[in-house]
Amino acid sequence: MKISSKQMLRILYAIAWVIFIGLCIKAGGFIFNTFFTLCINPEGANHFWNNMDLSQLYLSGKSYFIQFTVLISVVTVLQALLFYWIVKILHDKKLNLDRPFNSEVCKFIFRLSYISLAIGLVQLFGGMLLIAQLQSVHLSLPQSSQVSLREHEIWLFMGIILFVIAQIFKRGIELQDENELTV
């Protein structure tokens, strides 16, 4: 049995919704736990989101704790935004499979490339600055959080690939418009 393009788009739409909701929960969890730890109960740093122990950061200075949680929150919010745009274009049915080279799809791909590049750059520079600051006072991040800061290469690579694809779509639109004018 062969899956049609329309069926595949419906499956991808459902998967995008699940990922979007998961990323919103993750971002909300980080933001909530940050405020909870700072304002209500400092013990929250011991069992932070996903059982991450950030007590070392909190005890060595709230500024390190805030920098780390803001950095992770910004990255997660940007990731949720990326999937929001995917859900939105699939929900609004702006993917016309009969005429795939259109300005909406081109804008969509450019938008995804910019968000992917932003995620990679925030992780790269924010992570480098934070890790350098922590090393200067002989602290380190928990192992699980180091992994999430070192994903910048993947996001930068994806952003560049999406940017190239967006340029190809842009050229495809130009050729399609020229072809329509000659007919």
| Chain centroid offset of residue 178 CA | 36
Q: What is the model's pTM?
A: 0.86
Torsion over CA of 15, 20, 26 and 27, rounded to 10 degrees? 170
List pLDDT tens digits, range 140-183.
766 655 556 678 889 999 999 999 999 998 998 888 888 776 65
DSSP one-letter string for 140-158? ---HHHHHHHS-HHHHHHH
Please tell me the distance from the alpha carbon of residue 78 to that of residue 24, in angstroms, as a whole number.
10
Please tell me the distance from the alpha carbon of residue 67 to that of residue 63, in angstroms, as a whole number.
6
Report residue 138 as tokens: 């002989």
List pLDDT tens digits, range 97-156.
777 778 888 899 999 999 999 999 998 888 888 877 877 877 776 665 555 667 888 999
User: What's the whole-number average pLDDT of the chain?
Assistant: 85
- Residue among 72, 82, 54 at smallest CA distance from 127: 72
Would you report the helix, strand and coil content of the chain in percent, each value rounded to 5?
Answer: 85, 0, 15
List pLDDT tens digits, range 18-49.
999 999 999 998 899 889 888 888 887 777 77
Please tell me the distance from the alpha carbon of residue 8 to that of residue 145, in angstroms, as a whole number.
34
DSSP 8-state secondary structure symbol assigned to residue 2: P
C-beta pairs of 34-37 under 8 Å, 24+ apart in sequence: 34/65, 34/66, 34/69, 34/70, 34/73, 37/65
Please tell me the distance from the alpha carbon of residue 127 to that of residue 122, in angstroms, as a whole number.
7
Report residue 34 as tokens: 């940050």
